[in-house]
Each structure stands twice: as structure tokens, then as C-alpha cells.
Chain A
Amino acid sequence: MKTTHQVKAFNVLLLGMSFAGLLLLQGCFSKSDSNSDAANLGKLAGEYTATLTSAPEVPPSKPWLKRPEKVIVNIEVIEKTMKLANGVDYTYWTFNGTVPGPFIRVQEGDEVEVHLSNDPFNKMPHNIDFHAATGPGGGAEASMTAPGHTSVFSFRALRSGLFIYHCAAAPVGMHIANGMYGMILVEPRGGLAPVNKEYYIVQSEFYTKGANGDTGLQEFDLEKAIKEQPEYVVFDGHVGALTGNNAMQARVGDKVRLFVGNAGPNLTSSFHVIGEIFDNVNQEGGSIVNHDVQTTLIPAGGATIVEFTCKVPGTYTMVDHAIFRAFNQGAVAQLQVSGDENPDIFSGKTKDTLYFPDNSKNTDVPGKISQR
């Protein structure tokens, strides 16, 4: 008797679940319908050259047009030596001379025409794989470029979201480990809601011959990369790229939106802003929005959009909450929030008194064991 009841309950549950599943499925379908509408590959309204910014800056959003446009994106691959940490140099392979590469901002349905140039003095052929592209290799084959040449290819930004791009020339791991990544934002129809501040952050690891802190020009260490044992885990390509004088800025009351990517090459990020709770998180950079999140996972080769409101002034430190990466390997960034205090939300320290533990209540005090 009892068992039948259980079975019945189970059946009802199952039915309910499949119904919900059906609803979900329908939701999915209508979503992809709207996507194919957006990508209704009609005539392009016009053509312009994308404004590109280097981290942590984000290009301004463009007014939303009814028809998609052709967006020309010019990227040059430059191999150059830059500072990785204090006293530590590294030969980076870069898109446009910075790590991460430029932030690209387009709108759903736009045709993105990529002009990838490889500096004549570079040693390596390079290419670019856009996670925002639909097509073989995300453009990797189409953009394979020898030093001293330029490749042109284009793709439709069919889906909105925040996407990583990276070099995929052989050996892929090394091209990523040396700094060849960046992000492209494909704004959904109608654009993102306006906020006060937007910033661009990419987490990544560096595998150097020398240990963390060893000075001088450091070379890439293949064995450490294969073992996934980085010497540095950083935000925006360098230790201290976003701390101290380089910290991001906001004011009390500002809505802040962070475009956060994880280039890897190996580690998954547990992204956390100390002292903030995310109002909104676009999970994995896609269209599902979660609320009231403390720490969000960002897979290697993935991204997320987080939003929060600055309510109290101070320094807000961002970390990979796999915490030894933050305080031993460099995965720290800072947001300086200026403005008026709000003790109703956060009091600051209001009291500091002496503390005398009450020994009589504490049965675990070692001296008492003998009495038992």
C-alpha cells in the first residue's frame, strides 16, 4: 500500500517534471526563434570600424539600429617583451600589443569583418578563434596568417553574449599561455541596460621557467603548463594591472558592470568581489541571469557578466577565491569606490574592547582535562 502511494507520488512528480521540461523546452525554442530573427540576414544598414579599447576600458555602447551593420575589426599580432610582475619580464604574444587583447563591442546580427595582421618581425604564424562565431574553428582556419601578412574573414554575430576570442595556431596552448586572448561582447537586441561604469577583466595564468618572483626575462615552461602548475595567476595580463594606482574607479551609488573572462589556459576561476554581492550574473556570459551571487564560476575559455551597486565607499578587492592564487600568485584586482559613508548599510568598526574568555564555561581548556 505504502509502495503504491510512493509510486503514484513519483509518477505525479515525473509528470510535473516533464511538463516543466516541456515549458523549458518551449522557452528555449522561442529564444532561438528570436535569435534567428535577429540573424535574419537581410541587408546591412551600414558599415563602420569598431572602436577598440584595451583593458580595463570598455567601448561605449552604440545606439540600437533596426538593421544590423557591418563592423570592421582591425587587429594586429605583435610579439613583444613586457613586464609580468615587478622585475619580471616575459615575451608576450599579443593582439594589438596588450594582454588581454582589445575589447570588441558589436550588436546581435552584426557582420563582423576581421582584419588580422601579423607583424612582419614576428616569428610565428597566428590566427584567431572567435567563440562568438558560428563556423569552422571560429575563424581559426580562415584567419591563419604568416608574418608580414593580413587575413580577412567575416562572421555573423548570431547569438548575444560575452565571448572569448583567442589564437588557435599550433601549439594552441602556448599561444594562449603567451597572452593571445581577449573578449567580444555581442549585445542582445535593444542593448544592455545602462549602468554607470563598465570594466573589462580577463583572468589567465603564466607558466614561467623561474619560480614566482624570480627576476629577469622569463621563458615559457612547457612542463609546468602541462602539469597545470602556473607561477602566476593574474587579472589583465600582469601582476598589479588593476591594483593601487591602476585600480578601477567608481562612486557610491554607481551601478558597476564587469565583463569578466577567463582565458585559462588551464584553471577555472572562482570569481569573487570581496565585500559585494552580485545583483545580476549572466551565467557563463549567456542569457540566464542569476541574482544575489557571492562567487561565480568562470570556466577556462568562458566569460561572465556581473553587476553590482556600490553602496559604501572603500576598496573592493576582486579575487579568484581559490585563494592561494590570489595572494600568492597575483589574482587580485581592485575597485576604489569614493563617496559618502552609509552607516545604515555598513557601520565600520564602532567599538574595540578587551576580551576575557570565561574559563569556567570552557570545558575544552587543557588544564581541565585532568579533572575529568
Chain B
Amino acid sequence: MKKCRILLIVGLVLLSSISSFSQKRSKGGDVATAGMARIPAGSYQPFLKVNNQAVTIKMHSFYLDAHAVTNAEFLEFVKANPQWSRSKVSKLFADGNYLKQWAGDFTIGNDRIFNSPVTNVSWFAAVAYAKWVGKRLPTMEEWEYAAHSAPVNAPKGEKLATIILNWYSRPTPAILPNVESTFKNGFGVYDMHGLVWEWVYDFNSVITGDDSRSSGALNRQLYCAAGSQNAVNKEDYASFMRFAFRESLKANYTVANLGFRCAMDIK
């Protein structure tokens, strides 16, 4: 029993020192990766089966923003690229609710949301922002891999799945909380669950059909797919919801609780 406790403490200390190390390094060394966490290489089991089999995917190491892009950060991008301001943006690239929470083209107008994640941004806008800061959007695999790490500062005994389900079951607050206000996970990344949904680069790569009940009987008329994409764990409701959400999107959609964060390769 005592041994266990000591081991646990040692483990925790080790973990926190690792994450602070990587942060320090990124702050001191490479300006471009400031505010990013280095996600270590590893493997994980994706939610969807491949050819009806659960698979384990090997993941490379990459950088991921420690928090989602904020309204204040996105404002800098819009100022530098006025074609992405509310009144100028092409309807092809962002629907009518684009940056609806802002007061104007170049004003947020509500200092309570400066450090909240920017939402009501389309996939096209997110891709353009990422390009502007020299980064890219994470792929769905990268995002899911980074998000499967358990929270380190969660209340005792609270499972990740429970935290996620609880968030899903509450409507979005009128004022979104600041970034880094929810849980930090084992990779040193904040708010992967519990703050906003996030765009991923290849969100349109999930082919299950919109009716979740027919998964496994994909319409061959509409899809050319080698295997149906069934869920590995039918009780993983949190993942069901995330995948259902992605499937309901089109790239020019903007949603009040959908933001994004950026990723970067390790050079």
C-alpha cells in the first residue's frame, strides 16, 4: 500500500517535470512552438474499426497548441488579412454566422471573451489562420490521439468519459470560459474536452452515413468504401457524439461552440 503511494507520487512528479520541461524548451528555444505541447510518439486505438476490426495505430510525435485559438489571437489574423473580416469574407468560405460574437469587423467588443476560444469560425478560416501562423490544423487522428490522454487535474475518481458526458449534457454558456480553464491532460494540453468542439483538418474523412443506426450497412450507391466503419466500443458515447458532430458539418459552417487549435510537424 505504502509502496503504491510512493510510486504514484514519484510518477506524478516525473510527469509534471516532463511537461514543464517541454514547455520551457519550447518557450526558450523555438519561438514558433511557444505555447505548444510536444505530443510524444505512441499508439492508440481509434474509435472506428478498420475493415470491421479494431486496430492500434502508431502515431508520430508532433506539436499541438496547448490551448485553442482565442478571440484575441484570431483578431490579429483578421487585422492582417482583412479578406477574412466579417463583411469581406466570401460566403463560400464562411456562412452568415461567421464571428457573430464580435462587435464588428476588427473589434471583439466584449473583453470577457478576449481569452475565450474563438468560435463561429469555418474550417476554411481555421486553415487560413493556421497557415498564417506557420502551422496547420491537426488531422483527426492526431487530435483524437492527443485527446485520449487522461486529465491530470481532474477531481479524484472522475473518469474521462464521465467528464466528457457531463459537458455534453449541459448547454453552452452565453459567455464561453477562458482557454485553459478546464482540464490539462497528460500531454500538457488543455481543454481537449469540456470547453468547445474543435475543427480537424480531415473532418470529412469519416464515412459512416448520417444515420448512425445503419452503420455497417453503408449505402454502396453513395459510398465507395472498402469496409464499414463501426465503432470499436458501443458504449463510448462521447466518441459517438464527437463523430456525429463532425459528420453534421460542412467546411463553411460556423458554430457557436466550435473552435480550433493548430498543430505543427517536428522538424
Task: Please report A residues at the B interface, Cβ cutoff 8 Å.
Answer: 79-81, 91, 120-125, 127, 136-137, 140-141, 144-149, 168-172, 174, 178, 219-220, 222, 226
State whether the Cβ of B2 lies closer than 8 Å to any Cβ in chain A.
Answer: no
Residue of B nearest to A222 (CB): B237
Name the residue in A80, A137, A145, A170 with the highest tally of chain B Cβ atoms < 10 Å from its Cβ.
A170
State whether B248 touches A144 (Cβ < 8 A). Answer: yes
CB of A146 within 8 A of CB of B169, answer: no
Contact with B209, one of A125, A141, A149 (Cβ below 8 angstroms): A141
- Counted as pairs of residues, one from A and one from B, with CB atoms less than 8 Å apart, the total is 94
**Alpha-carbon distance between A149 and B248 when the two chains are bound, in angstroms:** 10
The 4 closest A-B pairs by CB, nearest first: A125-B248, A170-B212, A170-B244, A141-B210
Q: Which residues of B line the A interface, CB within 8 A?
A: 97, 165-172, 174, 197, 209-214, 219, 235, 237, 240-241, 243-245, 247-250, 253-258
User: CB within 8 A of B171: which of A123, A146, A174, A219?
Assistant: A123
State A166–B139 Cα separation when bound (angstroms): 33
Contacts of B170 in A (CB 8 A): 91, 123
Q: Which residues of chain B are within 8 angstroms of A144 by Cβ–Cβ distance?
A: 210, 247-248
**Whole-angstrom distance from the CB of B113 to the nearest CB of chain A?**
14
Chain A residues lying within 8 Å of B214, measured Cβ to Cβ, are 137
Which of A81, A141, A147, A148 meets B211, CB within 8 Å?
A: A141
Query: How near does chain A come to B267, taking the closest CB pair, in angstroms?
Result: 36
List, sorted by A's number, 18 A–B pairs whose CB atoms are closer than 8 Å: A79-B171, A80-B171, A81-B171, A91-B169, A91-B171, A123-B257, A124-B168, A124-B245, A136-B219, A137-B214, A140-B213, A144-B248, A147-B255, A168-B213, A170-B244, A171-B244, A172-B212, A220-B169
Q: How far is the CB of B178 from chain A (nearest CB, A)?
A: 18
**A122-B248 contact given A170-B243, A226-B235, CB 8 Å threshold:** no
Most chain A beta-carbon neighbours within 10 Å: one of B166, B255, B258: B255
> Is B257 in contact with A147, judged by CB distance below 8 angstroms?
yes
Report how far A4 CA is from B258 CA in the complex, Å.
78
Knowing that A123-B257, A124-B244, A141-B211 are A-B contacts, what are 18 other residue pairs whose CB atoms are under 8 Å apart, sorted by A's residue number? A120-B97, A123-B171, A125-B244, A125-B248, A127-B210, A137-B210, A141-B210, A144-B210, A145-B248, A146-B249, A146-B250, A146-B253, A147-B255, A147-B257, A148-B255, A168-B212, A170-B212, A220-B165
